[in-house]
Amino acid sequence: MNRLTGQRALVTGGGRGIGAAIVRRLVAEGASVAINYRSDAVAAEAFAAELAASGGGGERGEVRALTVRADVSDPEQARRAVDEAADGLGGLDILVSNAGVEYFGPLEKITVADYERVFGINVGGQLFITQAAVARMERGARIVLTSSVSASMAVYEHTLYAASKAAVSAMVRNLAPELAGRGIAINAIAAGGTNTAMAAKNLPKYAHPELRDLPPEQLPWLFSAVGRLAEPEEIAAAVAFLASADASYVTGSTLAVDGGKP
């Protein structure tokens, strides 16, 4: 399926985990992709070279894959990332804002620095990369931000992160009518627990302290009807749908990809 042939995409946080799976899926569907990363230039360049060598994508079947270094929590760097991506790819049709940071901590331990970091990346980073992208987009463009199922469920000592992700869902809901006039759709993905290095580290924290001694294989049953973690490729498939014309009548929505409620 090549729903995205000829499309040009920027994926923030695209060098690993869910972000890398999204990049692979967009390329597999025909898009050329700019991969945003923050620090590991060697890994990002190797990933781009791998994609370029894989074939498929682009208007004539060739992949264009380039890398863009930026800390998207800095609005100036976010603007520069968008400009480098659009200039390098010859335009910008898709933005996938995937970069984010996790946080667990009790109310009394949350500091101003914690708040500024979490909201600066998870909210400000997504707002300002969207602002910059819209300035380079034309009618028919599509934007996918990253919320979380944490925005709609109670998780012990997860307030700061959950609030930041709830803000993202509010953002897409309110930007939808504004951007519709420009012919641009905006949605968000709310992923459930996903099989990544971050999940391996934080999965027990999603359980109440009284339940954290459960065997690891039982923990997903606490928040997923299917009783397992998602694979990154399953999240990427949902992103590809929202980035495609198949979702032409979908905007302002947050799509839960969470394995159902237990």
- Which positions are catalytic? 147-148, 161, 165
Cα dist from 91 to 55, 84, 133, 134, 261, whole Å: 20, 10, 10, 11, 40
Query: Which tokens sit at 180?
Result: 């519709």
Residue 119 to residue 101: CA distance in whole angstroms: 9
Strand partners, 24: none
Three-class secondary structure of residue 157 per DSSP? coil
Three-class secondary structure of residue 191 per DSSP? strand
Least Cα distance to 196 among 21, 12, 3 occurs for: 21
CA dihedral over 84, 250, 126, 30, signed as positive or negative: negative
Cα dist from 90 to 19, 93, 137, 173, whole Å: 22, 10, 11, 29
